[in-house]
């Protein structure tokens, strides 16, 4: 394998079609990739030509393709964006040739990770935990499906697949309030018999599923039977 190269931002900036370089390089999270074979996309008028010759990590998830937006910091990005960046890095590792590291925010002059890179890696780990928690929550409280018919107007419906979550129970539509003091809600399907969805093997339970779950603020829809699987908003 060729030895790993270290680039200064100025050296990296020369590897663009604009400057007539036969090789096209870009960096993401301080890792430099040779994207020459993707010339159609990364060459002069390609849709991704903005990313070449620099580290524009942030713009991969914000879509801000301006000088101010094409920057390498991920400060203040939420967990979904951090996971998006991680996916982009993995895509480049899979599809293109890794050639080295960019000296600066993420790697020092010897190619060692900086404290900032280690901090971002910790945040990415936390982002995976957030994602897992959200998926777990969705399995317990799947989103309702929305339906609209001429005669009935809009209604929320629960089925064994509503919200894209396959399960062995249907559940009942409930308003889930996530912000204290706000009247904004979203409709979720709540298991209303047997043990809670997250603890199917529970020996002791009230046969009310998650209706009494203390961790969430659930309300019935006005004028809807409490055991109905469809309700009008």
Q: Which pLDDT tens digit goes with each residue over 14-42?
A: 999 999 999 999 999 999 999 999 999 99
The H or E element containing residue 188 is strand 186-190
**Highest-scoring range by mean pLDDT, 106-115, 146-155, 180-189:** 106-115
Q: Is the pLDDT of residue 144 over 80?
A: yes
| Token pair recorded at residue 185 | 């809600």
Name the token pair of 197.
């969805």
What would the pLDDT profile of 174-215 be if each residue is shown by its tens digit?
A: 999 988 888 899 999 999 999 999 888 888 888 999 999 998
* 152, pLDDT greater than 90: no
The Cα 33–Cα 207 span in angstroms is: 57
**Whole-structure pTM value:** 0.77
Residues of the chain with CATH 3.10.120.10: 5-135
Q: Are strands 172-177 and 217-219 parallel, antiparallel or unpaired?
A: antiparallel
Give the DSSP H or E segment for 132: helix 115-140
Residue 197 near residue 168 (C-beta atoms within 8 A): no
Architecture of domain 5-135 in this structure: Roll (3.10)
| pLDDT at residue 4 in the model | 87
Q: Give the containing element (helix H, strand E) for 30.
A: none
Q: What is the pLDDT of residue 85?
A: 98
Residue 112, CA distances (Å) to 6, 7, 29, 85, 184 in order: 10, 13, 13, 20, 47
**Is residue 113 a contact partner of residue 124, using CB atoms and an 8 Å limit?**
no
Looking at residue 182, what is its pLDDT? 86
* Both structure tokens of 208: 């009310």
160-169 average pLDDT score = 97
Reduce the DSSP state of residue 76 to 3 states and report it.
coil
């Amino acid at each position: 394998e060729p030895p790993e190269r270290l680039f200064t931002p100025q050296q990296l900036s020369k590897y663009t079609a604009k400057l007539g370089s036969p090789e096209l390089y870009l960096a993401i999270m301080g890792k430099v990739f040779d994207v020459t074979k993707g010339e159609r996309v990364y060459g002069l008028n390609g849709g991704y030509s903005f990313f070449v010759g620099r580290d524009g990590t942030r713009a991969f998830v914000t879509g801000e393709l301006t000088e101010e937006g094409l920057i390498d910091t991920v400060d203040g990005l939420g967990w979904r964006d951090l996971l998006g960046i991680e996916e982009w890095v993995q895509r480049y590792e899979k599809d293109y040739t890794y050639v080295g590291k960019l000296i600066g925010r993420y790697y020092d002059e010897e190619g060692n990770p900086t404290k900032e890179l280690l901090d971002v890696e910790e945040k990415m780990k936390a982002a995976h935990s957030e994602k897992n928690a959200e998926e777990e929550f969705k399995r317990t409280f799947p989103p309702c499906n929305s339906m609209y018919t001429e005669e009935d107007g809009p209604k929320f419906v629960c089925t064994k697949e509503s919200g894209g979550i396959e399960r062995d129970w249907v559940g009942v539509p409930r308003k889930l309030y996530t912000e204290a003091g706000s009247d904004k809600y979203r409709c979720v399907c709540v298991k209303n018999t047997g043990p809670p969805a997250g603890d199917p093997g529970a020996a002791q339970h009230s046969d009310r599923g998650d209706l009494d779950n203390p961790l969430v603020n659930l309300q019935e829809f006005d004028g809807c039977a409490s055991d109905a699987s469809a309700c009008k908003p």
